[in-house]
Chain A
Amino acid sequence: MSCDLSTNVGALALKNPVTVASGTFGYGLEFAEFYDPSLLGGIFLKGLTLEPRAGNETPRLVETPSGLINSIGLQNIGIKEFCERKWLELQGIQTLIGVNISGRSPEEYAELAARASQVPIVGAIEVNVSCPNVKEGGVEFGRSEHHIRTITHACVEASQVPVIVKLSPNVTDIVPLAAAALESGAAAVSLVNTFLAMAIDVEKRKPVLRNVFGGLSGPAIKPIAVRMVWQVWRSLRCPIIAMGGIMSGTDAVEFLLAGASAVSVGTANFVNPTAGRDILRELEDYCERHGVRRVRELVGAAHA
C-alpha cells in the first residue's frame, strides 16, 4: 500500500507536504548536486528585496545547543536580478516555487509581490513580516495586526499567485496575527520564523554576533513551534506551513498532527544536504507503518 502524499495548503496543491524553508536553500539549486529538488513538495527561495542587499557584518552565525543563531540580514540579489535572470536557472524544477519577499512599506511589498508573481515559474509569494535581522520593517511589521492586514491586503491585490504570510514567533499571542493575515486574503500562514536570541563570548566579554541579536533556529525551537502551530490550528483551522527544527520524518509528522498542512525543512539542510529528501522518505515510512492512506488524514489529528 502506498500513501497519497498530496496535500492542499489553501489554494495551493502540493505533491507532498515536505518543502524547504526560505533562507536555507539558497536560490533553489545549491543542493541540486545532492538530490533532485523536484522531489520536494515546494521550495521557498532566499528572501528578496527591491534593491540588492549586502547583508549584515560578520560574524553572522553562532551555534548554540541544538540550535543556530543567524543574523544574515537579508543579503540577496534583489528582485530585478531574480526576475530578469536568476529564475531562468530554475525552469527545470518541477515543484511549487515560492518567492519570499521583504519590504520596508506596504507599497514595497506590493511591488515585490507584483513583480515576483509575474515570473512564470513562481507559484506562491511568501510575505516575510518576521525577519529579526533588519532595522526597517521585518519583525516590527509582524508584531502588529494592523500592519499585517495592510501588507497582506496589498500583496494579495498585487499578486497573481496565492500569498502566504510568514509570521514571527516573537509575540505574546500569535493567533490574532495569523487571523489578521488570513482575513486579509492570505492563502496560508507560515509558522514560525526564528526566535530573537543572542550569545555572548565569555572570553571576549562581548556578543558573538556583530549584529548582537539574531534568529534562533534548529531542534532547540521545535517544541515552541509545535505549540504555536497547535494554537493557531485550534483557533482558526486554517492552512498552515509549519517550520522550526524539523530534522526527521517524525518531526514533520508532529507538526502535521498539530495542524500543519505542509512543513518546511530549514536548518536541517545545513546539517544534512539531503535532509529534504530523507525527511520525505521517513514521512512515507511513517505512513506505511501506521497504515495512513492519505497524508492529509494526519493534519490536526492530534486535536481529536
Chain B
Amino acid sequence: MKHHEQATLVHVEQLDATTFRHVYAAPAIARDAQPGQFLHVRVTQATAPLLRRPISILWSDFHEHVEILFKVVRQGTALLAEKRVGERVDLVGPLGTPFPYDFSRDAVCVAGGYGIAPLCFLARANVSEHNRRILLYGARTASAIVLRPEWRQAFDEVAIATEDGSLGKKGLVTDLLRDLLVARRSLAVYACGPTPMLAAVARCVANFAEPGTPCYVSLENRMGCGVGACLGCVVPTRHGMATTCKQGPVFPAQEILFEQILAETSR
C-alpha cells in the first residue's frame, strides 16, 4: 500500500562531505516498506524544484522509522540536506516493485556507489540461517565506500573493489562477481548501482553463472509521478517499455535491453 505522509525527520547523520542518512518517523510507510522500494521525497513546498526526488529505502524497522541514504548532487538533494531534526518532510511511499528474495540460494548483493542502500535493506531484512549473504561492493575510490558496522553485520562475507585500488581489490566489482560465479553454485544475484555497472552484472551472470541463476537489478531513472501515470521514466524491456517507478525499479536482469539504454545515454 502506498502512503502520503508528513514525516518527521528524527535523525540526521552526515557520513562525508556530500553523503547523508535521514531517519524519518513515518509509521504507515515504515510498516509497508520492502527492500528495493523507494521514497518519493518532496524537498520543498515551493515550486522549484518542482518534482519529487526518488530515493531508495535504506532501512525500515517495519513499525515506525524509515531511513534513506543520499548524496547531494544538485539543488533538490542540497535542499534535502538542509533539513534539520524535527522538521516535517513530505514523503510518498513505499513505491515500486521490491526485490524478490530466494532463501534457498546464497544471496550475492552487488553494489555500486549509492546502490548500497537497497542491498543493505535486503540483507538486513533477510538475515537467516538458511543461506549466506555476500556483499560485493564497488566504487571509484575508498572514500566513496559507505558501509556502517550494522550494515556490514548483515553480510556473511564482504568484498570491496575500487577502481584506483585505494581499498580492497583494484578493479571493478564485476571482477569480484565473475570469480564468485565461477567458484560457487546455488546463488542469486541482486544488484544496484549505475546503469553501466548493472549492464556488466547482467552480462557477467549470463556468461559465468550456473544456468538458472536468478539476477535482479534495481535501475535508477529520472521520474515524474512515481506511480506509473506519467510514463516519463520508461526503460526498454523484452516486453516493451516498462516504467521504472512502478514496474521497476527492480527487474529481472535478462528482461532489460541494456544495450539500447546505454546507446541512448551515450548519445
Q: Chain A interface (Cβ within 8 Å of chain B)?
A: 23-26, 30-31, 33-34, 46, 54-55, 57-63, 65-68, 70, 72, 75, 206, 210, 218-219, 247, 267, 269-274
Residue B115 at the chain A interface, CB threshold 8 Å: no
A270 touches B47 (CB 8 A): no
The answer to whether B231 and A68 have CB atoms under 8 Å apart is no
User: Can you list the 6 inter-chain pairs with the closest CB atoms, starting with the nearest?
Assistant: A26-B229, A61-B232, A30-B229, A66-B47, A270-B225, A33-B2
Nearest chain B CB to A132's CB is how many angstroms away?
Answer: 15
User: For A62, what are the chain B residues with a Cβ–Cβ distance below 8 Å?
Assistant: 222
Residues of A within 8 A of B4 (CB): 34, 272-274
Docked CA distance A30–B92 (Å): 14
Q: How many A-B residue pairs have CB under 8 A?
A: 97
A202: min CB distance to chain B, Å: 13
> How far does the Cβ of A27 sit from chain B's closest Cβ, in whole Å?
8
Give the nearest-CB partner of B225 in chain A: A270
CA distance A54 to B223 in the complex (A): 18
With a CB–CB cut-off of 8 A, which chain B residues contact A66? 47-48, 50
Say which residue of A61, A70, A210, A267 sits within 8 Å of B264 (CB atoms). Answer: A210
Q: Does B183 contact A (CB under 8 A)?
A: no
Query: B222 to chain A: which residues have CB within 8 Å?
Result: 59, 61-62
Our pick among B227, B229, B231 for the contact of A55 (Cβ within 8 Å) is B231
Which residue numbers of B lie inside 8 Å of A, CB to CB? 1-2, 4, 42, 47-52, 90, 92, 221-235, 240-241, 246, 264, 267
Q: Are A60 and B231 in contact (CB under 8 A)?
A: yes
- A63, B43: Cα distance in complex, Å: 14
Set of chain B residues within 8 Å of A23, measured between Cβ atoms: 230
**Which chain A residues border B235 with CB–CB below 8 Å?**
58
CB A146 to nearest CB in B, in angstroms, measures: 32
B59 to chain A, nearest CB (A): 23
- Report Cα–Cα, A72/B224, bound state, in Å: 11
| CB neighbours of A274 from chain B (8 A) | 4
Decide if A34 touches B48 in the complex (CB within 8 Å).
Answer: no
A267's partner among B50, B221, B233 (CB-CB below 8 A) is: B50
Nearest chain A residue, comparing its CB with the CB of B75:
A63
A274 to chain B, nearest CB (A): 6
Q: Is the pair B232, A60 in contact by a Cβ cutoff of 8 Å?
A: yes
Expressed in whole angstroms, the minimum distance between the Cβ of A69 and any Cβ of chain B is 10
The residues of B that contact A271 with a CB separation of less than 8 Å are 42, 50-52
Given A60-B234, A63-B50, CB of A24 within 8 Å of CB of B264? no
Would you give 8 A-B contacts (Cβ < 8 Å), ordered by A?
A30-B228, A54-B240, A59-B222, A61-B233, A68-B51, A70-B224, A269-B229, A270-B52
**B261: shortest Cβ distance to chain A, in Å?**
8
Known contacts A63-B51, A271-B50, A271-B51: A72-B42 contact under CB 8 Å: no
Instruction: Tell me which of B48, B52, B231 contacts A72 (CB under 8 A).
Output: B231
